[in-house]
């Protein structure tokens, strides 16, 4: 059984090979992202630069590229039985499961990115990577909460967490624990994003939908999503932690034997290997050669 796993926004800007960016399946979705943001995203991705790290630009760019690669895999005859995605990647997973169209997913990503950027300006904050067990994570949150606002933003590995909060709380955690700052644009997956939830839900409900062909694992709790609750899970995710460990455990319990990881970003790839091991993963579908190799197996 094959699962398509879509990476999220991550902490590093996306890079894809020129051959992938030039593929018509990718290029057409990148054009949708450019229209939604009024920015030439193809040019940005080709040259790089700080503008690409802006949340409102990066999110639709990432979704466009990932779903373009998904189209290339479909063209090669590779279909998933299960889809899942980390944070932003869950929009791609919803689309790849057959619920919504790719162009609509890109437009939703633009809305999501703009809403999150707006809330980050209103409620400044950031994220840190914390290494330690669950007890260590709990102590870090308690200590940080003494001086500011902080919560768990993601459980990325058995001993790896992302904490979201304001500057005083994050500085406290960095000073006292094995924690390093993540170059994120805001306190993602925390109450700081609460003002965006209803608007994202409304936008998600307005998109034409159809029953999912593949099963989708939601990272809200690591459970399977349904056609009915997927929009609520996607919107509510903004203020809840990404339960990435639980999501991967569910995929393994469903007897997934191959994971095709879709999307650029070395940090997210490392998390997949850390959780699943090299033998179970997995293909990294970010080049035409890799896609051909996946299709041939």
Confidence of residue 15 (pLDDT cuts 50, 70, 90): low
Greatest C-alpha distance within the chain: 55
Instruction: List Cβ neighbours of 134 (8 Å cut-off, separation of 6 or more).
Output: none
225 within 8 A of 217, measured Cβ to Cβ: yes
Query: Do 13 and 159 fall into the same domain?
Result: no
Q: Quote the distance between the C-alpha of residue 276 and its chain's center.
A: 17
> What's the whole-number average pLDDT of the chain?
91
For residue 42, the model assigns a pLDDT of 87
- How many structural domains comprise the chain? 2
Query: Do 176 and 198 fall into the same domain?
Result: no
- From 182, 199, 219, the end of a domain falls on 182
Give, in order, the Cα–Cα distances in Å from 84 to each of 44, 65, 251, 296.
27, 16, 9, 23
Confidence of residue 265 (pLDDT cuts 50, 70, 90): low
Q: What is the CATH number of the domain that holds 174?
A: 3.30.70.250
Query: Do 100 and 154 fall into the same domain?
Result: no
- pLDDT at 291 > cutoff 80: no
Query: Do 70 and 178 fall into the same domain?
Result: no
Query: Do 71 and 198 fall into the same domain?
Result: yes
Percent of the residues in the chain that have a pLDDT greater than 90, as a whole number: 70
Q: Which domain holds residue 245?
A: 2-121+191-296
Residue with tokens 């690591």: 222
199 within 8 A of 164, measured Cβ to Cβ: no
Instruction: List Cβ neighbours of 163 (8 Å cut-off, separation of 6 or more).
Output: 127, 128, 130, 137, 140, 141, 144, 150, 151, 152, 153, 170, 173, 179
Q: In what order do the strands lie in the sheet with 82-85?
A: 215-217, 82-85, 2-6, 258-262, 281-285
Express each pLDDT in 115-138 by its tens digit: 999 999 999 999 999 999 999 999
Query: Do 136 and 199 fall into the same domain?
Result: no
- pLDDT at 25 > cutoff 70: yes
Question: 68-82, 154-168, 221-235 — which is least confidently predicted?
Answer: 68-82
**CA–CA separation, 18 vs 131, rounded Å?**
36
For residue 269, the model assigns a pLDDT of 72
> Which whole number is the average pLDDT over 253-270?
82
Express each pLDDT in 223-252 by its tens digit: 999 999 999 999 999 999 999 999 999 999
Query: Do 169 and 258 fall into the same domain?
Result: no
Higher pLDDT, 242 or 52: 242
- pLDDT at 11 > cutoff 60: no
Q: What is the CATH number of the domain that holds 36?
A: 3.40.366.10
Query: Do 29 and 151 fall into the same domain?
Result: no
Query: Do 12 and 133 fall into the same domain?
Result: no
Q: Quote the distance between the C-alpha of residue 204 and its chain's center.
A: 16
**CA–CA separation, 39 vs 51, rounded Å?**
10
Query: Do 37 and 156 fall into the same domain?
Result: no
- From 160, 182, 204, the end of a domain falls on 182
E strand residue ranges, 86-149: 126-131
**CA–CA separation, 156 vs 273, rounded Å?**
11
For residue 282, the model assigns a pLDDT of 63
Identify the CA nearest to 276 among candidates 253, 294, 296, 297: 253
Query: Do 239 and 271 fall into the same domain?
Result: yes
- From 182, 200, 220, the end of a domain falls on 182
Query: Do 97 and 219 fall into the same domain?
Result: yes
């Amino acid at each position: 059984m094959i699962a398509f796993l879509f990476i999220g926004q991550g902490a590093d800007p996306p890079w894809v090979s020129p051959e992938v960016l030039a593929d018509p399946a990718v290029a057409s979705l990148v054009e949708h992202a450019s229209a939604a943001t009024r920015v030439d995203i193809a040019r940005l991705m080709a040259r790089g630069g700080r503008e690409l790290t802006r949340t409102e630009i990066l999110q639709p760019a990432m979704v466009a590229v990932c779903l373009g690669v998904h189209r290339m895999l479909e063209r090669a005859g590779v279909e998933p039985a299960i889809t899942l995605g980390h944070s932003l990647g869950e929009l791609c997973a919803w689309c790849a499961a057959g619920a919504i169209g790719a162009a609509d997913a890109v437009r939703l990503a633009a809305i999501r990115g703009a809403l999150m950027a707006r809330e980050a300006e209103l409620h400044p904050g950031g994220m840190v990577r914390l290494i330690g067990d669950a007890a260590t994570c709990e102590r870090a949150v308690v200590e940080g909460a003494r001086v500011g606002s902080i919560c768990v933003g993601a459980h990325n590995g058995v001993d790896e967490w992302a904490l979201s909060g304001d500057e005083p709380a994050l500085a406290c955690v960095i000073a006292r624990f094995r924690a390093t700052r993540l170059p994120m644009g805001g306190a993602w997956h925390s109450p700081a994003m609460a003002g965006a939830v209803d608007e994202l839900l409304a936008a998600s409900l307005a998109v034409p939908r159809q029953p999912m062909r593949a099963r989708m694992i939601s990272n809200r709790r690591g459970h399977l999503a349904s056609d009915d609750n997927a929009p609520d899970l996607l919107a509510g995710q903004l203020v809840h932690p990404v339960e990435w460990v639980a999501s991967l455990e569910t995929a393994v319990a469903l007897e997934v034997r191959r994971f095709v990881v879709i999307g650029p970003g070395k940090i997210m790839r490392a998390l997949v290997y850390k959780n699943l091991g090299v033998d179970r993963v997995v293909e990294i579908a970010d080049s035409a050669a890799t896609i051909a190799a996946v299709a041939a197996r």
